[in-house]
């Protein structure tokens, strides 16, 4: 267990580069593993979650080696994975568990997926139910949670599936299973979710049809029988993770007289809800060095201090900022007026119940807020957002809750203790080094 003590700091400045994107790093391993040929992945995120995925594929016979500034994946081909000798433990990673459910449902061997205490409580029927409709033999516990047990079947059949929520994890699980299915896999979503799987599948030579009508996004994986089903390996450059950059965007926005440049951040439009929301709140955010020629667009993000104001978050931005709300709530506490978020019940089933965890922490810090079933109202106080002294906040082992509360030290006059920060390593292993490099003062303390 690792706890942190965050000491008050008034301002920050500098140029930083945050580590690679977690979503893209997971997918690069999965697709590289089942491709034909060698995939070089530049900027792979060496975090616990992504290392877990890498280890899982190594346990299925895939050769993955570090080569200095890239990792080299020697693709086993679509049907080249080998039966793992043991249960696959995916630690804290919901992405690994949901996406691998789709991929493993199509293999000719049995597998069992487990995770840590948090992951074993997260809903998995959202992927296992549609996979069963494709013919998969896949089961969860009665409560819909892992262990996920998968047995081989003769073949999968493509389905047309209507998701009740916009979710890249469900969509990606079905697309990965769809690689092995007869016919076109068609997925309808009630909004936009991140499209990294689609971009990578296209780069690996698959044909996809993507369209939007009346707010419904439809993604079709075309298996027209004319092209070989094989994925052709391709180099992947992983941009810096906008979800990790989010903490620093909020930091620069709420601190006095501050400016930060965050280099090479992924600005895929399905991920930039944090920027849309912060700009609506009055933040000063600019892009420089925009590069749109790779699989994923990137830019340097320059963000300066501003007087933020409360907003009612437009629902269309929720899925585009789904992982960034813990950081956004810290900004909201420093804003003038009311910040209102509704329609965000999904936040209750992330690595923790993020609505409850953030509400509890904000109240402990002295913020005035109201917890809703599907959101939160934060009555911002720009003069003194975090008035309470000697506070201890429990991050509940959720990396993004820990990093969000670390940023409150920029607007507090007191030390803040944050408990159970060890899982920051799941997404952002050098967080403390980077925060120190721009002037923050956050230190591990002996755990209680
Ligand atoms: C992810 C998708 C999101 C996000 C998660 C990573 C992905 O979840 O919250 O951290 O890599 O596909 P949903 O797809 O369930 O919204």
Q: What is the pLDDT of residue 226?
A: 58
Which residues does 118 contact at the CB level (< 8 Å), separation at least 6? 92, 351, 352, 397, 398
As a whole number of angstroms, the distance between CA 430 and CA 334 comes to 26
Per-residue pLDDT band at 323 (split at 50, 70, 90): very high
pLDDT mean across residues, the chain = 97
Least confident of 115-119, 181-185, 276-280, 382-386: 181-185
pTM of the model: 0.98
Q: Which two tokens stand for residue 213?
A: 């009508």
Judged against a pLDDT cut of 90, whether residue 225 lies above it is answered with no
Q: Where is pLDDT greater, at 26 or 229?
A: 26
CB 312 within 8 A of CB 340: yes
Residue 348, SS3?
Answer: helix
Which residues, 6 or more positions from 224, have their beta carbon under 8 angstroms from its beta carbon?
184, 207
Q: Is the pLDDT of residue 227 over 60?
A: no
pLDDT band at 214 (very low <50, low <70, confident <90, very high): very high
Pocket of ligand 1 (CB under 6 A): 23, 95, 167-169, 172, 193-194, 322-323
Closest CA to 200 of 149, 265, 144, 268: 268
Catalytic residue, candidates 21, 49, 300, 323: 323
Res 407: pLDDT: 98
**Residue whose C-alpha is closest to residue 29's, from 112, 95, 127, 113:** 95
Pair 12, 259: CB distance under 8 Å: no
> Does 229 have pLDDT greater than 80?
no
Kindly report the protein residue whose alpha carbon is nearest to atom 9 of ligand 1.
323
Ligand 1 atom with least separation from CA of 197 = 12
- Counting every residue written for the chain, the total comes to 448
The residue written with tokens 């700009």 in the block is 279
What are the pLDDT digits (tens) for 350-372?
999 999 999 999 999 999 999 99
How far is residue 284's CA from residue 238's CA, in Å, rounded to a whole number?
A: 26
Give the Cα separation of 246 and 404 in Å (integer). 9
Percent of the chain with pLDDT over 70: 98
pLDDT for 182 equals: 86
**pLDDT confidence bin for 228, thresholds 50/70/90:** low
| 323 classed as catalytic | yes
Task: Look at the alpha carbons of 344, 348, 349, 353 in this order and tell me if their dihedral is positive or negative.
Answer: positive
Cβ contacts of residue 423 below 8 Å, gap of 6+?
48, 92, 351, 395, 397, 398, 399, 402
CA 387 to chain centre: 31
The H-assigned helical ranges of 306-345 are: 325-333
**In the predicted structure, residue 34 carries a pLDDT above the cut 90:** yes
Q: How high is the pLDDT of residue 1?
A: 83
β-pairing verdict for 160-162 and 185-189: parallel
| Ligand 1 atom having least distance to the Cα of 165 | 16
Pair of tokens at residue 266: 């992924």
- Mean pLDDT confidence for 202-224: 95
CB 6 within 8 A of CB 441: yes
Average pLDDT over residues 238-259: 98
Closest Cα to atom 13, ligand 1: which residue?
167
Q: So what's the pLDDT on residue 171?
A: 98
Q: How far is the CA of 122 from the centre of ligand 1 (A)?
A: 13
Structure letter (DSSP) for residue 11: -
φ, ψ of residue 25 to 5 degrees: the values are -65, -45
Model confidence at 377: pLDDT above 80: yes
Say how many Å lie between the CA of residue 422 and the centre of ligand 1.
21
366 C-alpha to center of ligand 1: Å?
31
Give the mean pLDDT of 328-350: 98
Burial of 21 by CB count in 10 Å (0-12 exposed, 13-18 middle, 19+ buried)?
Answer: buried
Q: With beta carbons less than 8 A apart as the criterion, state whether 253 and 303 touch.
A: yes
Does the pLDDT of residue 255 top 60, yes or no? yes
Atom of ligand 1 minimally distant from the CA of 168 = 14
Q: Is residue 397 within 8 Å of 423, Cβ to Cβ?
A: yes
Residue 30 CA to ligand 1 center (angstroms) comes to 16
199 dihedral zone (left: phi>0; alpha: psi -120 to 50; beta) = alpha
Q: What's the order of all strands across the beta sheet hosting 236-237?
A: 63-67, 70-74, 38-42, 236-237
pLDDT in tens, 132-183: 999 999 999 999 999 999 999 999 999 999 999 999 999 999 999 999 998 9
């Amino acid at each position: 267990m690792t706890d942190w003590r965050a000491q008050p700091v008034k301002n920050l400045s500098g140029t930083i580069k945050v580590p690679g994107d977690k979503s893209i790093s997971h997918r690069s391993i999965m697709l590289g593993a089942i491709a034909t040929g060698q995939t070089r992945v530049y900027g792979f995120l060496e975090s616990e979650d992504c290392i877990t995925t890498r280890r899982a594929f190594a346990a299925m016979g895939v050769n993955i080696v570090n080569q200095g500034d890239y990792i080299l994946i020697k693709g086993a081909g679509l049907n080249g994975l080998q039966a793992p000798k043991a249960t696959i433990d995916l630690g804290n990673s919901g992405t690994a568990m949901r996406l691998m459910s789709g991929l493993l449902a199509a293999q000719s061997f049995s597998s069992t997926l487990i995770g840590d205490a948090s992951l074993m409580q997260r809903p998995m029927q959202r992927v296992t139910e549609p996979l069963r409709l494709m013919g998969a033999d896949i089961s969860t516990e009665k409560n819909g949670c892992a262990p996920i047990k998968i047995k081989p079947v003769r073949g999968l059949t493509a389905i047309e599936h209507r998701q009740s929520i916009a979710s890249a994890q469900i969509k990606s699980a079905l697309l990965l299973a769809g690689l092995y299915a007869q016919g076109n896999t068609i997925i309808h979503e009630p909004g936009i979710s991140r499209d990294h799987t689609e971009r990578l599948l296209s780069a690996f030579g698959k044909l996809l049809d993507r369209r939007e009508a009346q707010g419904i996004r439809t993604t079709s994986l075309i298996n027209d029988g004319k092209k070989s089903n094989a994925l052709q390996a391709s180099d992947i450059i992983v941009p810096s993770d906008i979800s990790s950059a989010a903490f620093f965007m909020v930091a620069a926005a709420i601190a006095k007289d501050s400016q930060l440049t965050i280099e090479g951040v992924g600005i895929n439009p399905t991920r930039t809800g944090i920027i849309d929301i912060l700009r609506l709140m009055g933040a000063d955010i600019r892009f420089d060095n925009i590069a749109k020629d790779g699989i994923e667009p990137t830019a340097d993000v320059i963000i300066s201090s501003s007087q933020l104001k409360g907003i009612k978050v437009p629902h269309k931005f929720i899925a585009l900022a789904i992982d960034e709300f813990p950081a956004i709530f810290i900004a909201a506490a420093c804003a003038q007026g009311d910040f209102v978020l509704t329609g965000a019940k999904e936040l209750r089933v992330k690595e923790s119940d993020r609505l409850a965890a953030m509400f509890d922490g904000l109240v402990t810090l002295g913020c005035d807020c109201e917890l809703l079933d599907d959101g939160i109202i934060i009555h911002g106080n720009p003069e003194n957002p975090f008035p309470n002294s000697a506070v201890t906040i429990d991050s509940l082992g959720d990396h993004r809750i820990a990093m969000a509360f670390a940023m409150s030290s920029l607007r507090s006059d007191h030390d803040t203790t944050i408990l159970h920060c060890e899982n920051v390593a799941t997404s952002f292993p050098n967080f403390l080094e980077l925060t120190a490099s721009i002037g923050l003062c956050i230190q591990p303390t002996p755990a209680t």
